[in-house]
Amino acid sequence: MFTNEELAVIKDALNIADDHYKKAMDLSKNNKNQMVAYNRKQKKLWLVQNKLNKILAGEIKE
């Protein structure tokens, strides 16, 4: 489906998004609603990153 190079690019993009959410959460420490929203987005991102890491490690066969 994807080549290893394409998966590596996706992994880099996910890491950039993760950094963005961390910075956004730090900036919104005083606003609980925004912080919760960014936290939810980051949790979804972590699920995708974990799945991608499993694919890259060859644990998932499709």
**pLDDT one-digit tens code per residue, 1-14:** 788 888 889 999 99
Q: What is the pTM of this model?
A: 0.76
State mean pLDDT over 53-60: 81
Task: Give pLDDT, residue 59.
Answer: 66
* Gap between the Cα atoms of 45 and 21, Å rounded: 9
High-pLDDT (> 90) share of the chain, %: 48
Q: Taking the mean position of all CA atoms in its chain, how far away is CA 32? A: 21
Q: Enumerate the domain spans of the chain.
A: 4-57
Task: Give pLDDT, residue 9.
Answer: 93
